[in-house]
Structure 1
Amino acid sequence: MADRLIRITTALAVVAVAAVAAVISYRHAYELVHSHGESGPTARLVPFTVDGLIWAASMVILDASRQKHPAPPLAKWSLAVGIVATVGANVAHGASHGPIGAIVSAWPALALVGSFELLMTLTRAAARSDLAQDEQRTEPERPRTEVEQTPEEAVLEEYRASLEGPGRPLSQRYLAEKHGIDRRRVKQIITGVEQPTAP
């Protein structure tokens, strides 16, 4: 229950940070595209292509991880290019205000990418946990290679065998110590076993 609560609250925090960062990062990218000659739908849609590329690449990598396959190289390259593009656009937006302005402007993009990757990490961890639980539930019972005896059955079998052999039957004390059973319990187990008749 505690693990699930941690995952849920962390996911909510990550989503909240990502949403705020996405809005700010989009605004920076839109203003940059608009100030460089694009307007109308083009200026509004270009920023979506950058974040959309990051989303698509991350989903492909996540799917490969869940299927236990290596991530496709194209997905890795697309993710890297998307991150560079979104951070670069935000840095360029704030560059006119000097190094500090560039850093401040780049922060929402970094927060967006970081939050998104944290969310993917949570998803991968939850998937691995669910898969492990499913495997435990569906794991077939291993066949027994030999019949398991209870200590009581072992006492009875050994005592009966000693009756058929030469010499005296095994003592209750010996059987109790060997099988870790109370001596009175040993007496109850062997009571009623027919003693061999003398010739």
Structure 2
Amino acid sequence: MTDRLIKATTAMAVVAVAAVAALISYSHALDLVRSHGETGATARLVPFTVDGLIWAASMVILDAHRHHRPVPALARWSLAAGICATIGANLAHGAAHGPIGALVSAWPALALVGSFELLMTLTRNTPPPSPPATSEHTTARRSEPACTEVEQTPEQAMLKEYRASLNGPGRPLSQRYLADRYGIDRRKVKQIITRTEGSPPS
């Protein structure tokens, strides 16, 4: 319970920081794009391409880790390019205010990238759910219906009832009765009884 609580609160904190940092970083990137000639929908969408590249590359890396596959080189390069682009855009936005202004402006981008990578690390380290254990008893019980189904064929049920009638107080069941009761051809009934007992009833 404690481990689950720690992971849940950590994930909530990381998501909250990432959301705030993403809004500030987007605002800085939007101002930078507009100041360099882009307007309208283009200016609003360009910052998304940077964060979208980081997201896509991180998802590919996460998928590779969880399935124990090598991480594609393109995913690593794309992640590095996206991080450099978002930090560079924020640095450029605050460069007019000197080194301190550039660092202050770049901090949301650093917080966004750091929070996002922390979330990915937390997700990568979460073990996948284990499949339910199957005991020998469970396996045997699951196989019972198939065995029961085989035992309950009309021919076997007919032969079982015939054998039981041999030990009864009355006469053994006739072939006609068995054929009508189980819907089996009378000649087949005779063959089964003859092969099994050697002396069919008249």
Q: Decide: shared fold, TM above 0.5.
A: yes
Amino acid aligned to 1:47: P
How far apart, CA to CA, are the structure 2 residues paired with 1:57 and 1:139? 38
* Matching residue of 1:105: 105
1:124-180: per-residue Cα shift (whole Å, max 9, x none)?
A: 111xx235xx16x54878xxxxxxxxxxxxxxxxxxxxxxxxxxxxxxxxxxxxxxx
1:72-127: per-residue Cα shift (whole Å, max 9, x none)?
A: 0000000000000000000000000000000000000000000000000111111x
* Matching residue of 1:93: 93
* Matching residue of 1:43: 43
Amino acid aligned to 1:7: K
Amino acid aligned to 1:130: P
How far apart, CA to CA, are the structure 1 residues paired with 2:47 and 2:128? 35
* Partner secondary structure for residue 92 of structure 1: helix
* Matching residue of 2:114: 114
* Matching residue of 1:60: 60
* Matching residue of 2:128: 130
The 3 A distance-change label for structure 1 pair 114 and 139 is farther
* Matching residue of 1:73: 73
Superposed counterparts of 1:114-193, under 5 Å: 114-126=114-126, 129-131=127-129, 134=130, 137-138=132-133
| TM-score, structure 2 as length reference | 0.65
How far apart, CA to CA, are the structure 1 residues paired with 2:95 and 2:63? 37
Aligned residues, how many?
Answer: 136
Amino acid aligned to 2:111: A
How far apart, CA to CA, are the structure 1 residues paired with 2:15 and 2:109? 14
* Partner secondary structure for residue 70 of structure 2: coil
| TM-score, structure 1 as length reference | 0.66
**Identical positions, percent:** 74
* Partner secondary structure for residue 130 of structure 1: coil
* Matching residue of 1:169: none
Deviation at 1:57, TM superposition (A): 0.2
Any unmatched runs of 5+ in structure 2?
137-202
Amino acid aligned to 2:6: I
How far apart, CA to CA, are the structure 1 residues paired with 2:134 and 2:116? 34
How far apart, CA to CA, are the structure 1 residues paired with 2:66 and 2:135? 23
How far apart, CA to CA, are the structure 2 residues paired with 1:29 and 1:63? 29
Any unmatched runs of 5+ in structure 1?
142-199
Larger radius of gyration: 2
* Matching residue of 1:83: 83
